[in-house]
Amino acid sequence: MTDGAHLARHWLDAAARPEVRRDLGAVYADAARAIAERGPACWASGRCCNFEKAGHLLYVSGLEAAYTVLGARERPVSVSPPPAAAGGDRGPCPFQVRNLCGVHEIKPLGCRVYFCDRSAQRWQQDLSERLLAEIRALHDRHGVEYRYGEWRSMLNLLVG
């Protein structure tokens, strides 16, 4: 088994454990509370999900990517984990459906804290750093190897 395949299996197994899901869900709930307090604008345009056009990339931990992949497999939604993309880490988010997030409830932290609203940029950066530290600690606490990488590349590793 290659290093990538071993990591993918490790993250998928960890993301399936109830205590890991609970703890990652708690980080996401913390994000939701902090965001609700600020009330940033989201125009639901989907521009943020088209990474090249928006001029940014999304980074996630391996555990977050696995959590989303498993969640997408378990949900009765019109979106399933994407097949390995021929373009690797190019193009829009593979979970984008008609400019909306097809995995909104199970999306990674970077998606949760990013808003096009320019007034949100300072506090969203602070919130992101704080919660990323919590996700890193969650990896350590549960013995899950920590790697941080570009979203589509991590998805390709997990489903490719």
Give 53-104 pLDDT, tens digit per residue: 777 788 999 999 999 999 888 775 545 555 544 445 556 788 887 777 888 8
Radius of gyration of the chain (CA): 15
Averaged pLDDT for residues 6-31: 96
pLDDT at 95: 84
Q: Can you give the pTM of this predicted structure?
A: 0.85
Structure tokens at 32: 């939701």
* Domain map (residue ranges) of the chain: 3-159
| Residues 6+ away with beta carbon under 8 Å from 135 | 24, 27, 61, 63, 64, 109
Measuring CA to CA, how many Å separate 157 from each of 60, 80, 82, 95?
13, 16, 11, 16
